[in-house]
Amino acid sequence: MPLHFSCTMCGHCCRGLRIPLNLSEAIDWLSDGGETQLLCEAIPWPAEPAVDNLLAAYKFQRSFPALSGTLPLRVIVTVVAAFDGPCPHLKSDLRCGAYDRRPRVCRIYPAEINPFIALRPAGKGCPPEAWDNRYPVLEASGRYVDRTLTADIEALRATDIRDVEAKQILSSVLGVRAAALANEGFVVVSPGRETMTRAIALAIDKVEGLDGNVSIVSWTLISNRCSTRDTLASVDAQAAAPEALPDGQTYLGFDASRDD
Ligand code: SF4
Ligand code: SF4
């Protein structure tokens, strides 16, 4: 069934968020006085998947290679704008104060970036009246209809892939070597505005001269689950509990309950 949609300007999607940014958007966000964080997650990658595994290919493109002990990994680092409460750009009349230069993720909401995630109104912050059948069709048969929207989604995916090596260097510049297991959570790194600004500029500068030759280094996999750490240790991966993280890094688990 087609999904109809029109934004009601309720402002829910502009509060208490972590908005994924590409690196040039992150520089703009920081220069506007905003705060950013890194979200780090890792996927065990013991062998290359089949060539027709499109989901694996998507994950591969968005990630860089690493090791944990002897276990091969793919690490995904996401730079996010982070704020509790209203976005610093949200005006009192609930309009965006940076509308013309708002991040691409804001432009496409409530559409999904990930082509393997179906759009579900129940998973979005938009009120029920925003999905009324009187409004234009947003999505039909799994495809977004509006050409500007599809172009923005394509551009988002392209910059996500383009920035991978620079984010690999960025994590190295910031001394980040810990990631949560994908699907369990994230390691959240909060370096502060000035440090992040310098680190992103350095990473962009360095990546241009490296021509794809970024060293593969060892990462620690953080989990709040004893069973996960035991499983990782059994395959010679380096695993640790969230308490092992250094200052400035925290663990954000999808499941707050621990099994230890
Ligand atoms: S930048 Fe604008 S659209 Fe994006 S969260 Fe902030 S107020 Fe909302
Ligand atoms: S939550 Fe949905 S309806 Fe509300 S402002 Fe954001 S996009 Fe519009």
Residue 3 is classified by DSSP as E
Does the C-beta of 13 come closer than 6 Å to ligand 2?
A: yes
Shortest-distance Cα residue to atom 7 of ligand 2:
7
Calculate mean pLDDT across residues 3-26.
93
CA 17 – ligand 1 centroid, Å: 10
> Mean pLDDT, the chain, as a whole number?
93
Ligand whose nearest atom lies closest to the CA of 85 = 1
**pLDDT level of residue 260 (50, 70, 90 thresholds):** low
pLDDT of residue 195: 97
Calculate mean pLDDT across residues 112-116.
93
**pLDDT level of residue 258 (50, 70, 90 thresholds):** low
The percent helix, strand, coil of the chain (3-state, each to 5) is: 35, 25, 40
Ligand whose nearest atom lies closest to the CA of 127 = 2
Pocket test for ligand 2, best of 3, 107, 109 (most atoms within 8 A of CB): 109
CA 188 – ligand 1 centroid, Å: 21
CA 84 – ligand 2 centroid, Å: 17
Q: What's this model's pTM, rounded to 2 decimal places? A: 0.93
pLDDT of residue 77: 98
Pocket test for ligand 1, best of 89, 100, 124, 156 (most atoms within 8 A of CB): 89
